[in-house]
């Protein structure tokens, strides 16, 4: 059985004891390295400098990496009080808590209603609630046996790799009918960045290294994992929940490129054992 520990932010295969790699561990191999400390510095200067920050970032430092921009700002404006950085980190931590609460709220409301509307077809799907030993666990070894319906927070893996050594993800909203799956993920960021200044790496080099593209790809990743159980992909996308308010949402439709996802799967099988394990986020 595979479970996800909210406390540790890790996926674990109980029988082998293996810590499995999830989406966050996988995608960092194809995107620009995210330096949390340097990004916190840049965000702090954005608050401190106001509009002047955008002039610097998209002016003289437009081609700079996050690390280079942070170093420039520290040298050019050393007078910024350090509490600006502390406030950014606190905001991020609090945002993660609010994001988890929003996911839980959406899940509980689905169970209370007993149904969920498929955003791709506008059909009403019955919510399927199965007995669980753990809050976040694999519902069954072979997910192709799942009954038709709607599944909130569905844990899925690559069936072709086996449970003990496989990439894993949690699909926020999964609709199943007649062997077809539709995937929708929740995102609670302040904003969805759609920049087109950088590309991803390797087999994903045709995609922009932006928040929007990564979230679309994450939903496609979940769909590809479901396809290893024989499901056909009916539709993929993600929903941006604004201000942690489930009544304020925007849906982003993604294109499921079967050829690209096949190449992505070939590559994750090749590099899986070399991937660094990191804390998994949504």
pLDDT of residue 282: 54
pLDDT of residue 278: 77
pLDDT of residue 190: 87
Residue 13 in tokens: 């295969």
pLDDT of residue 242: 94
Q: Provide the b/e sequence for 11-20 (b: ≥16 CB within 10 Å).
A: bbbeeeeeeb
pLDDT of residue 281: 66
- Give this prediction's pTM: 0.88
pLDDT of residue 202: 95
pLDDT of residue 212: 95
- Long-range contacts from 141-148, C-beta under 8 angstroms, 24+ separation: 142/229, 143/226, 143/229, 144/229, 144/230, 144/231, 146/176, 147/176, 148/176, 148/177, 148/178
pLDDT of residue 22: 92
Ranges of residues in the chain with a pLDDT under 70 are 281-282
pLDDT of residue 179: 97
pLDDT of residue 24: 87
């Amino acid at each position: 059985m595979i479970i996800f520990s909210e406390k540790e932010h890790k996926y674990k295969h109980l029988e082998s004891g293996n810590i499995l790699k999830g989406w966050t561990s996988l995608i960092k191999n194809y995107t620009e390295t995210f330096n949390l400390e340097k990004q916190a510095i840049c965000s702090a200067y954005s608050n401190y400098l106001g509009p002047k920050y955008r002039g610097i970032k998209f002016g003289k430092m437009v081609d700079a990496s996050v690390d280079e921009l942070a170093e420039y700002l520290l040298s050019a404006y050393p007078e910024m009080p350090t509490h600006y950085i502390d406030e950014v980190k606190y905001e991020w931590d609090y945002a993660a808590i609010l994001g988890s609460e929003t996911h839980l709220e959406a899940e509980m409301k689905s169970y209370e209603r007993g149904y969920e509307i498929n955003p791709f077809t506008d059909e009403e799907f019955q919510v399927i609630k199965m007995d669980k030993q753990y809050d976040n666990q694999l519902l069954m070894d072979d997910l192709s046996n799942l009954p038709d319906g709607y599944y909130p927070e569905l844990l899925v893996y690559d069936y072709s790799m086996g449970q003990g050594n496989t990439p894993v993800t949690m699909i926020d909203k999964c609709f199943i009918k007649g062997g077809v799956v539709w995937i929708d993920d929740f995102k609670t960021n302040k904003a969805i960045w759609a920049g087109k200044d950088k590309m991803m790496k390797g087999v994903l080099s045709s995609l922009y290294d932006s928040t929007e593209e990564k979230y679309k790809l994450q939903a496609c990743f979940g769909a590809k994992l479901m396809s290893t159980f024989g499901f056909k992909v009916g539709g993929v996308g993600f929903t941006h929940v604004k201000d942690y308010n489930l009544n304020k949402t925007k849906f982003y439709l993604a294109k499921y490129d079967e050829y690209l996802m096949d190449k992505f799967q070939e590559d994750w099988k090749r590099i899986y054992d070399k991937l660094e394990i990191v804390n998994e986020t949504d």
